[in-house]
Amino acid sequence: MSSNKLITVIFLICLSAYVSCARKKSENTLSLGERVGQLTELSLRKPVIRLNGDKFRQYIGAKSLPRNYSFVVMLTALSPHRQCTVCRLAMEEYSIVANSWRYSPLFSNKLFFGMVDFDEGSDVFQLLGIGSAPVFLYFSEKGKLKSPEVMEIERKGYAAETIGKWVSELSQLPIRVIRPPNYSTTLAIMALMMIVASLLYIKRNNLDFLYNRNSWAMISLFIVFVMTSGQMWNHIRGPPLMTRNRQGTGMTYIHNSSGAQFVIETYIIILLNVAICAGMILLTEAMKGKADHRKRKISAMIGLGSTLIFFSLLLSIFRSKAHGYPYSFLFK
């Protein structure tokens, strides 16, 4: 008789523990309607929803199933001590896309934008097996957590228009990117025109400088350097300034593909072209100059060295981007 009572007591204890656990689980797990309602409210407050580990699992991870919405997530590291300049620039572009969707007449609860900062959700990085930033991920309503769509920012860049197009293609929801008005370019052009007009007014009695061949040569060279370095490509594609290497231990300044480049790579190419041009000018002036023989010889040696060294560097960069190119000079 006593054994039956003991069994009954143990059974009741186990039953109460099971009911308690089930109740806690139900309290922690939100229904689909509650999740959508919370996400919609958060998105209306701020288009980019900040997620930590718990919120990520609640809205995107295993706890979010089933779901009838897609989620775009940016993994980033915005803390100043992380020194991720690319992360801050990419976040600005990402926010433009999220705001464009938030204020679009087609806005709905079928698509949400979020971000996970490494210092707030390092467990999310570990869960997804990602060790670098920034990274853009797209979780479809039926997609698996371990296999989201990843945007190739090294090849496509992270301009708002590029991100918006990528999200539209995956979600089948049209996103028209609307940038906030930027008056800096207009003000810069107006300031330049005022400076030019002021110089012409001051020099109105002596406009001989307009016929100076050296001035026009410098202006022409400046235009050539800018156009041959890829500035127009940067303006169209909006590539990142630089990016971290695959190991995450340092920064990469030169893209390893001939079909893409970084912004800082453009400046490097400009400086190399300027150095090569300066070397050629020194060689030319040394040949036809009227200075003494010693100075002309030194000028010729400096010009020759500058041309050879910086042309070799330029050829080395080209060789690293055009894989299979067989030729090199001083540097490989």
The residue with tokens 């340092």 is 250
Question: Higher-confidence residue: 240 or 36?
Answer: 36
Q: Which of 31-45, 53-67, 87-101, 216-230 has the lowest mean pLDDT?
A: 53-67
Structural domains of the chain sorted by starting position, each given as residue range(s) with its CATH number in brackets: 26-171 (3.40.30.10), 212-321 (no CATH)
Q: Is the pLDDT of residue 25 over 50?
A: no
Q: CA-to-CA distance for 291 and 196, rounded, in angstroms?
A: 35
Q: Is the pLDDT of residue 54 over 90?
A: no
Tell me the three state secondary structure of residue 125.
helix
- pLDDT of 31: 78
Give the chain's radius of gyration (CA, Å): 30
Question: What's the predicted TM-score (pTM) here?
Answer: 0.59
Q: Is the pLDDT of residue 326 over 90?
A: no
Q: Is the pLDDT of residue 72 over 80?
A: yes
Q: CA-to-CA distance for 168 and 202, rounded, in angstroms?
A: 55
- pLDDT of 96: 92
- Specify whether the CB–CB gap between 321 and 256 falls below 8 A: yes
For 142, the token pair is 């039926």
The residue with tokens 């309503």 is 141
112-145 residue pLDDT tens: 999 999 888 888 888 888 888 888 999 988 766 6
| Residues 6 or more apart in contact with residue 231 via CB below 8 angstroms | 266
10-22 residue pLDDT tens: 655 655 654 444 4
- pLDDT of 261: 80
